[in-house]
Amino acid sequence: MRILLLGRQGQLATSLSAVLAEDDVVALSHQELDICDAQRVAGMVKAVRPDVIINTAAVRRPDACELAPEHAFAVNALGARNVALACVEAKCALAHISTDYVFDGMRRTPYFEEDPPNPVNVYGTSKLAGEIFVKQIVERHYVIRTSPLFGGATDPARASNFVLALLRRADDGLDTNVVTDQWMTPTYTLDVARKISWLIRRDTHGVYHISNGGHCTWYEFAQAVAEKALLRTRLIPITTNELVTPARRIRYSVLGHGMLERLESNDLPHWENALERYLQVLGRHRAPVIRTTEARRKEP
């Protein structure tokens, strides 16, 4: 399969490149192809002639989006539109990566694909706009919503995800504030990449939620990292109300996997298993979790 992968320097794209190694993949970074440039996007897609485009390119940091909304919409919404229009011209499929932040987090049960989105910040709103463009323009689309990601990168100095940031702070002897009242599913990019590779070879188009199993708070996730890696660091529990950020955070963003269940393919491992495998890749997995996991199984 010939695949055009956009946003190749990101965590998920890094894992996708590894998973799709046996395919004919053309992977491009933002510097190599700015999806805000409609003419260049159209020209590149025409030249590559892919069977499917996987668009991971995005402005992902909620605070950055809140502080620069025009740029966020230019990339996350209009950039997605440019890619979608190029797909139609090239008669190829489009796998577009979206986010759990299209929901408002007001409920305490998992959000499924058919639940109405209601974003509460610029990041979520811009990503939802991108979803709408893709669904309206490209018939053969896979809109893939996922959860907070870790993986791909392996250098704590770059700290491109929560796990690496926590490892770096621990190595530097720093304490870390972590929220106790935001529930989500930490998700390994390698597991998502494998499921995307499986999905794009099927003609079952639509919206998909892809994340690891289980759920926890950010504080519980940080505890698991610290215990599995034997980190000597102090985790300071705080609430969302104590966390002052430009962008509003959502309290609950656990995703239900209705579409994968219908395809009998809801088999992604639990997030703790995924975390252990990532720490092993980093060479930082030192010990099993020694505390009870009962708290992590409770509903918030």
pLDDT digits (tens, 9 = 90+) for 217-253: 999 999 999 999 999 899 999 999 999 999 999 999 9
265, part of any domain? no
**Cα 229 to Cα 116: distance, rounded to the nearest angstrom:** 39
Phi-psi region of 252 (alpha: psi -120 to 50; beta: other; left: phi over 0): beta
Domain shared by 128 and 177, yes or no: no
Domain shared by 145 and 220, yes or no: no
Find the catalytic residue in 101, 111, 123, 188: 123
Confidence at residue 295, expressed as pLDDT on a 0 to 100 scale: 40
205, part of any domain? yes
Confidence at residue 153, expressed as pLDDT on a 0 to 100 scale: 78
**Cα 26 to Cα 48: distance, rounded to the nearest angstrom:** 8
123 is a catalytic site residue: yes
111, part of any domain? yes
pLDDT digits (tens, 9 = 90+) for 14-33: 999 999 999 999 999 999 99
258, part of any domain? no
Domain shared by 46 and 136, yes or no: yes
**Cα 205 to Cα 226: distance, rounded to the nearest angstrom:** 39
Give the domain CATH number at 290.
3.90.25.10
Domain shared by 223 and 135, yes or no: no
Confidence at residue 290, expressed as pLDDT on a 0 to 100 scale: 43
262, part of any domain? no
92, part of any domain? yes
Confidence at residue 286, expressed as pLDDT on a 0 to 100 scale: 82
Give the domain CATH number at 56.
3.40.50.720
Residues in the chain predicted with pLDDT less than 50, given as ranges, are: 289-300
Range of the domain at 142: 2-149+186-209
Read off the pTM.
0.94
